[in-house]
Amino acid sequence: MQEEKIKTNYDSSSIQVLEGLEAVRKRPGMYIGTTDVKGLHHLVWEIVDNSIDEALAGYCHNIEVIINKDNSITVKDDGRGIPIDIHPKTGISTVETVYTVLHAGGKFGGGVYKVSGGLHGVGASVVNALSKWVEVTVYKNGKINKVRFEDGGHIKEHLHEVGDCSSDRTGTTVTFKPDPDIFDTDIYDYETLKTRVRELAFLNRGLAITIRDDRDLEDTTGETFMYEGGISEYVRFINQNKTPLHEDIIHLSGEKNGVFFEVAMQYNTSYNSNIYSFVNNINTHDGGTHEDGVKRALTRVINNYSRKNNILKEKDENLKEDDVREGLTMIISCKHPNPQFEGQTKGRLGNSEVKNLADSVFAEGFERFLMENPDEARTIINKAILARNARMAAKKAREATRKTDLTTTNFFGKLSDCKSKDPSISEIFIVEGDSAGGSAKKGRDSMTQAILPLRGKILNVEKARLDKALGNEEIKTIITALGTGIGDYFDLSKLRYDKIIIMTDADVDGSHIRVLLLTLFYRFFKPIVEAGHVYAAQPPLFRIMHGKTRKYVLNEEELESYLKSLPENVRNKAEIARMKGLGEMDDDELNETTMDINTRVLRKITVDDCVSADAIFEKLMGDDVDPRRKFIEENAWNVQNLDI
């Protein structure tokens, strides 16, 4: 009797289920944002999130992420294993329910903190909907149980026992292959996955996460990230190539009504701040109450201490938030059972109660640190005072750049502006060197394309305060050309071009300049990057000629696949030339390959690119050639013909 009933339930619910998953396949963007390479990687985090939830609940200690040879992904954990009993509402096993019913995770999951940012536990079913196939294996009660889905969540093999395991072994293993009909690309990037895996390990102290690339024959063991010190070690990692102002990392934490808050910080001698905040492991790009609470307390505590100890005199103005954060590296992490994300990109924490928790935890601990470490306190405050002085000098210099307008003759000598004054169709190419600048000028569409050649290397804004940066000729030219102003006077609506295209050679010097430019944009023009106006041109590395056909390709991979696509007799006769720098292309060639909107390839620069540029920077600048070469080979995209 009962068996009958379950069967009926199963049939009716399975229809609803497939309708749900079909909706995900119809509009994947609604669930995972995009179907480009970013969306492809997003799938991994949806599965890993479930393992992390299990770790936050206290049951899982090891997670493994493997890129398999066929670009499928395996995620393993040693948690309790997804429940395999029949779920009363659906009549099918809970694990099948979790993988086929949208919202199942949210409804049935009992974890303390749910980390999955936008999806709130529907992640597993979304991954299933967007996969060619998925296999879930659960280790529990001495048995191994497996279920397999195919083609967007259709059950292929119901949950069934496939063997025995030792009775103390528990956990979940999931392997999925993203559906190539959904995604623009199916190739996983090891570095992208590794960076996030490492971050997750920092944010969840004690949790070991291993990542391995089985496409790479030499990588048999992978890399394991485990940090007993949690976010303190994250701060040390970010500061590894910087000079700290104090040895110990300040690490403070507190909890109230189930909300856990922690912060780690260390000042260094640089002039910028690196403050990253997270809620339930998700980066809150736009800050929010947790960040506001800490910043408010930081400014207040430093001012109070400075007055009490007569470092700031009565006549002195209070230090501002910008002054006290100069040279500060800080990680803020909040674990909240019910986070409210606000803003257009949901990158801001809105829960108001967190502000006071953050303020009080931070203020109390930081005040104690200053009192117990008077020498360090002095150093930190003196730096803030220098920052304030520079801020005031920069204000004057900025007022001066605001007054410079486009009629300055000196400026016109550098910029070849476009004829159009309509920003929505205008582009500016920032080009390395005069010779490439010359070809670009000849090859451009002068109606919509402006050319700004850079003479020297631009100043590294990582190593200079704003007042000094504003004295640099190349930087001044860029500021004037863009039209937005800078700092207090910045106004995105005044941007004179829709696309700012960085055009540098595919060699070490080129990537160096690109990194400098990215750093400049990140530090001084972040809203321009965030609004998606900054691009890198991608000059091709090879030209293939056969018959009357000329074809350019970006890299060796593309070369190989293009050659493969040719009939054998054509392939054997094809002439392949390796392209030299931008300066060596004639204007037609430069136009065709890099500038013409119909044939060129641009890469949109994201804030994440700028953040990694920041890290790449230190290494590029170092004196040691070997680590530098190794680093560039491994990390700097678009660097193909190395000549160091």
Of residues 35, 72, 93, 94, which one binds ligand 1YM by CB under 6 A?
A: 94
Of residues 102-141, those binding ligand 1YM (CB under 6 A): 105, 108-111
Is the Cβ of residue 98 or residue 397 nearer to ligand 1YM in the bound state? 98
Give yes or no for residue 153 binding ligand 1YM (CB under 6 A): no
Of residues 44, 66, 98, 207, which one binds ligand 1YM by CB under 6 A?
A: 98
Residue closest to 178 by CA, chosen among 355, 51, 33, 44: 44
Q: How far is the CB of 136 from ligand 1YM (least distance, A)?
A: 8
Of residues 75, 197, 370, 500, which one binds ligand 1YM by CB under 6 A?
A: 75
Is the Cβ of residue 89 or residue 629 nearer to ligand 1YM in the bound state? 89
User: Which residues make beta-bridge pairs with 145?
Assistant: 138, 161
463 C-beta neighbours (distance < 10 Å), count: 15
Dist CA 543 CA 410 (whole Å): 38
Active-site entry in 150, 286, 509, 596: 509
Active-site entry in 474, 507, 530, 609: 507
Contact by Cβ (8 Å): 464, 437: no
Contact by Cβ (8 Å): 337, 113: yes
Of residues 596-635, those binding ligand 1YM (CB under 6 A): none
Of residues 43, 66, 101, 174, which one binds ligand 1YM by CB under 6 A?
A: 174
Contact by Cβ (8 Å): 514, 637: no
Which residue in the block uniquely carries the two structure tokens 């890993």?
A: 48
Q: How far is the CB of 577 from ligand 1YM (least distance, A)?
A: 48
Largest CA distance in the chain: 91
x/- contact string, 31-60, with ligand 1YM (CB under 6 A)? ----------------x--xx--x------
Dist CA 279 CA 472 (whole Å): 39
Q: How far is the CB of 81 from ligand 1YM (least distance, A)?
A: 6
Of residues 65, 82, 134, 585, which one binds ligand 1YM by CB under 6 A?
A: 82
- Annotated catalytic residue 467: no
What letter represents residue 184's amino acid? D
**Cα-to-chain-centroid distance, residue 640:** 22
Residue closest to 28 by CA, chosen among 86, 85, 80, 102: 102
- Annotated catalytic residue 509: yes
Contacts with ligand 1YM: how many residues (CB under 6 A)?
19
Bridging pattern class, strands 282-283 and 250-256: unpaired
Give yes or no for residue 264 binding ligand 1YM (CB under 6 A): no
Dist CA 427 CA 446 (whole Å): 10
Q: Is the dihedral of CA 468, 472, 477, 482 positive or negative?
A: negative
Q: How far is the CB of 94 from ligand 1YM (least distance, A)?
A: 4
Q: How far is the CB of 630 from ligand 1YM (least distance, A)?
A: 33
Active-site entry in 505, 530, 589, 614: 505
Q: How far is the CB of 139 from ligand 1YM (least distance, A)?
A: 10
For the chain, percent helix, then strand, then coil, each to nearest 5? Answer: 45, 20, 35
Of residues 90, 145, 172, 175, which one binds ligand 1YM by CB under 6 A?
A: 172
- Annotated catalytic residue 78: no
Which residue in the block uniquely carries the two structure tokens 């360090």?
A: 376
x/- contact string, 211-240, with ligand 1YM (CB under 6 A)? ------------------------------
Q: How far is the CB of 50 from ligand 1YM (least distance, A)?
A: 3
Dist CA 583 CA 562 (whole Å): 26
Is the Cβ of residue 121 or residue 443 nearer to ligand 1YM in the bound state? 121
Is the Cβ of residue 51 or residue 612 nearer to ligand 1YM in the bound state? 51
Backbone angles phi and psi of 405, in degrees to 5: -120, 180
Q: How far is the CB of 208 from ligand 1YM (least distance, A)?
A: 15
CA 413 to each of CA 93, 171, 262, 341, 355: distance values in angstroms, whole numbers, following the listed order: 72, 67, 53, 48, 51
Dist CA 278 CA 281 (whole Å): 5
Is the Cβ of residue 83 or residue 365 nearer to ligand 1YM in the bound state? 83
Give yes or no for residue 77 binding ligand 1YM (CB under 6 A): yes
Residue closest to 619 by CA, chosen among 454, 458, 462, 432: 462
Q: Which two tokens stand for residue 363?
A: 């203020």
Of residues 25, 61, 80, 571, which one binds ligand 1YM by CB under 6 A?
A: 80
Q: How far is the CB of 113 from ligand 1YM (least distance, A)?
A: 11
Dist CA 352 CA 342 (whole Å): 12
Of residues 435-464, those binding ligand 1YM (CB under 6 A): none
CA 593 to each of CA 544, 562, 569, 585, 597: distance values in angstroms, whole numbers, following the listed order: 13, 16, 26, 10, 9
Active-site entry in 432, 530, 609, 614: 432
Catalytic residues: 432, 505, 507, 509
Binding region for ligand 1YM (CB under 6 A): 47, 50-51, 54, 75, 77, 79-80, 82-83, 94, 98, 105, 108-111, 172, 174
